[in-house]
């Protein structure tokens, strides 16, 4: 599966719409040019194939592909009759069909799109990842604390990679510069505490990773810090290691301020989990191994 960079990720995010109830959708006529379909008739054929796939999967087509009507103005024609000059122009309109596509609908569309188009492959990656995340999110509240930590830690790993790329583009090059950059974000979020000071406060061993010893609430705060810093560096086209450090610090501090405003617990004061995320992963892997049944081979 291809890895999306931040710009490719945003081409789909930029046309996403949010309803008043918080649900999200994409207009089919806005998605078509993104996926390199210039003729609506060709894209509509892909939508029809996706609808069939949706029905075959046992899901409601009406829920994932609700159609909407839009009124558009027709192109005006130059006036040939001199008697028409000076009178208000009557613009002709027509009704066209569009669809409010769910994330799952978009996933099915790119799966049924033209595989020769590079952007279709990117769309398959994006909507596959996002559809999976949506499914996880729907079950998130049902997870116990350990599994919540695993889910968020996985997201942080992905966003940390994107942040590292954005920081490098901004001018954070050497390992020493990157360590300072990381410290800046922690200092903003943790009220001036450095990586080493947080490490010491948690009572961790030298090789322990701070992120592995965070509960879900603390991980979410750091995920927000990381994702928003990546966006800020890209959006503002930050240049220079010092400017990148300042941006990371400012975002961390803003996240801390937001926690303070809603009466939340400061991240450095949150409880430290008994088990590291690495330990939880090992335990789950061992459980899976024990569940495996031996193969019954014919003798």
At 124-147, the pLDDT tens digits run 877 877 777 677 667 777 888 998
Range of the domain at 28: 6-76+91-137
Q: What is the pLDDT of residue 131?
A: 73
For 177, the token pair is 């510069």
The number of distinct structural domains making up the chain is 2
Q: Does the residue 266 lie in any domain?
A: yes
Q: Are residues 131 and 231 in the same domain?
A: no
For residue 292, pLDDT over 70 is answered with no
**Which pLDDT value is given to residue 90?**
56
In a 3-state reduction of DSSP, which class is residue 96? Answer: strand
C-alpha angle 81-83-89 in degrees, rounded to nearest 5: 80
Kindly state whether residue 293 falls inside one of the protein's structural domains: no
| Average pLDDT score over the chain | 85
- Decide if 286 is inside a domain: no
pLDDT band for 82, please (50, 70, 90 cuts).
Answer: low
pLDDT exceeds 60 at position 298 = no
Distance of CA 156 to the CA centre of its chain: 11
**Judgement on whether residues 148 and 28 belong to the same structural domain of the protein:** no
CA angle 288, 156, 170 (to 5 degrees): 145
All residues at 6 or more sequence positions from 134 whose CB lies less than 8 Å from its CB, including other chains: 103, 104
Contact 153/211 with Cβ under 8 angstroms? yes
Residue 86 covered by a domain: no
H helical segments located in 14-144: 28-34, 40-56, 61-64, 103-111, 118-140
Same domain, 133 and 153: no
For residue 38, being part of any structural domain is answered with: yes
Instruction: Examine the domain organization and report whether 20 and 97 are in the same domain.
Output: yes
pLDDT of 185 higher than 50: yes
Note whether residue 169 is domain-resident: yes
Q: Are residues 127 and 149 in the same domain?
A: no
Place 219 in a pLDDT band, splitting at 50, 70 and 90.
very high
Mean pLDDT of 73-90: 58
Is 291 within the bounds of a domain?
no
pTM of the model: 0.56
Tell me if 67 is assigned to some domain: yes
Question: What is the reported pLDDT for 28?
Answer: 96
């Amino acid at each position: 599966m291809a890895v999306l960079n931040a710009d490719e990720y945003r081409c789909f995010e930029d046309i996403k719409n949010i309803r008043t109830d918080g649900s999200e959708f994409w207009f089919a006529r806005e998605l078509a040019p993104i996926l390199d379909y210039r003729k609506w008739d060709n894209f509509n054929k892909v939508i029809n194939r996706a609808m069939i796939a949706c029905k075959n999967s046992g899901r409601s087509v009406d829920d994932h592909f609700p159609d909407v009507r839009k009124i558009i103005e027709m192109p005006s024609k130059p006036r040939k009759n001199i008697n028409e000059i000076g009178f208000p122009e009557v613009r002709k309109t027509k009704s066209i069909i569009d669809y409010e596509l769910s994330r799952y609908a978009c996933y099915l569309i790119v799966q049924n799109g033209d595989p020769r188009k590079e952007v279709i492959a990117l769309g398959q990656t994006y909507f596959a990842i996002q559809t999976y995340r949506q499914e996880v999110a729907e079950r998130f509240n049902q997870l116990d604390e350990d599994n919540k930590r695993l889910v968020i830690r996985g997201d942080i790993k992905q966003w940390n990679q994107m942040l590292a790329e954005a920081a490098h583009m901004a001018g954070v090059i050497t390992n020493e510069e990157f360590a300072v950059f990381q410290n800046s974000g922690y200092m903003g979020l943790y009220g001036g505490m450095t990586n080493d000071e947080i490490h010491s406060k948690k009572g961790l061993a030298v090789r322990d990773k701070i992120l592995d010893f965070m509960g879900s609430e603390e991980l979410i705060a750091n995920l927000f810090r990381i994702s928003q810093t990546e966006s800020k560096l890209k959006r503002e086209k930050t240049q220079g290691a010092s400017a990148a450090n300042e941006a990371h610090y400012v975002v961390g501090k803003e996240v801390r301020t937001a926690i303070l405003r809603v009466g939340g617990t400061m991240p450095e004061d949150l409880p430290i989990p008994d088990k590291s995320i690495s330990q939880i992963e090992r335990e789950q892997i061992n459980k899976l191994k024990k569940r495996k049944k031996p193969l019954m081979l014919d003798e």
